[in-house]
Chain A
């Protein structure tokens, strides 16, 4: 037996989905706007609540466990709100710069291996293995790599 809550969720979900699909009819209409704005509002609210919960679980609980360095992150996070005040907006560049810099540095020092070296290594293989199917696959990759690389010749 389906309870009233599950039934209501299914009905509202189906209604909102059909409102979304009404855009396929080709014209803007109030039902589509209702669905679109409900979705955006719900998603924004969810992100705010989830982010706050994350800051509490990782930041505040971490600090209370003696990991004081996390307080720096919370202070930097608060400094991003200086963008709201035009006179002090320049301060927000500091946390944004640190955040972007940390993320880029972490990504680039490893992506060079996982995004380039490992893939280059993977195609340096014997082109004449005993298995015919494997040989076909390897030749296909080998031959398609050559025109792929010409992309860089055209754009230099």
Chain B
């Protein structure tokens, strides 16, 4: 009986040495295809998402909510769906929405948030300075986060345009205790600082929408009572969109996610068949020949 190597490998050699560009091409097709033409594959909602949703659902009119954008643009791609769905929930409950930025790259994100909320804000009669404010980049480091918690107006005097915030609804916010909720859209930028200096001393409620690699840490914070809830990655964003019946980029991306993950599973199986059928026997053969 001849080995796969002696036979020239055939299909097993092809599987073991498959050109990675083929893998990338298949992934490209499977990701772009559903984005252009969504399939609408089914989705289930995790208990974590329900908990996150319920924390925001408790908001009422005149509650002041801080949307903290502790993300870069790379993270925004993963978090935008959940962030927009969260902000939409806030506006639907007629709470006051304040956007603050924790990373220089995120200074370009608030206009995208307002553009996405245009319809619901018009429907609810939202006006800038009366119901919402964009404070821009205000958290460059942990001392700034701590300072804003202890004396908000000592740190923040103007909105992102340089207009004074005196006389706005933020007059009633003195310390971190005066915020109804922090929605922390985060890739690891000042998330711990918010817990350390807002949650711990003032008891400010925080919900976190985080990227995939931060999910396990955020769940530990939920269990420890430091977060009211956490929403994981684009998948969580899609689940929140589903819960509030506002389909958007999250649900649209789930088709691509599902197909891409299935294809990766298939490639892993095929790669292992190639490894055990061709690569490994070939290595054994070479080692014997040296002796």
Contact = CB atoms under 8 A, between A and B. Distances in A.
Chain B binds chain A: yes
Interface of A: 24-26, 43, 46-47, 50-51, 53-54, 57-58, 61-62, 65, 67, 99, 102-103, 106-107, 110-111, 113-115, 118-119, 121-123
B157 A61 contact: yes
Contact of B140 (A25, A54, A61, A110): A54
A114 B157 contact: no
Nearest to A25: B21
B158 interface: yes
Interface residues of B, number: 34
Contacts of B24: 24
Contacts of B162: 57
A32 B47 CA distance: 42
Contacts of A50: 104, 107, 137
Contact of B142 (A65, A103, A113): A103
B48 interface: no
Nearest to B24: A24
B55 interface: no
The 7 closest A-B pairs by CB, nearest first: A110-B196, A50-B104, A122-B224, A118-B224, A47-B104, A122-B223, A114-B195
Interface of B: 20-21, 24, 104-105, 107, 136-138, 140-144, 146, 154-158, 162, 192-193, 195-197, 199-201, 220, 223-226
Contact of A114 (B138, B141, B226): B226
A113 B200 CA distance: 8
Chain A's interface: helix, strand, loop or mixed, by majority? Answer: helix
Chain B's interface: helix, strand, loop or mixed, by majority? Answer: helix
A50 B70 CA distance: 15
A62 B138 CA distance: 13
A51 B104 contact: yes
B158 A61 contact: yes
Contacts of B226: 114, 118
Nearest to A62: B157
Contact of A118 (B20, B156, B193, B225): B225
Nearest to A64: B157
22 contacts: A24-B21, A50-B104, A50-B107, A53-B136, A53-B137, A54-B137, A54-B138, A54-B140, A58-B155, A62-B157, A106-B196, A106-B197, A107-B142, A107-B193, A110-B197, A111-B192, A114-B195, A114-B196, A114-B199, A122-B220, A122-B224, A122-B225
With most chain A CB atoms within 10 A of its CB, the pick from B20, B142, B197 is B142
Contacts of A106: 142-143, 146, 196-197
Contact of B157 (A46, A65, A103, A119): A65
With most chain B CB atoms within 10 A of its CB, the pick from A24, A58, A103, A122 is A58
Contacts of B224: 114, 118-119, 121-122
With most chain B CB atoms within 10 A of its CB, the pick from A25, A121, A122, A123 is A122
Contact of B107 (A46, A57, A62): A46
Contacts of B157: 57-58, 61-62, 65
B140 A51 contact: yes
A65 B21 CA distance: 60
Contacts of A118: 224-226
A47 B140 CA distance: 11
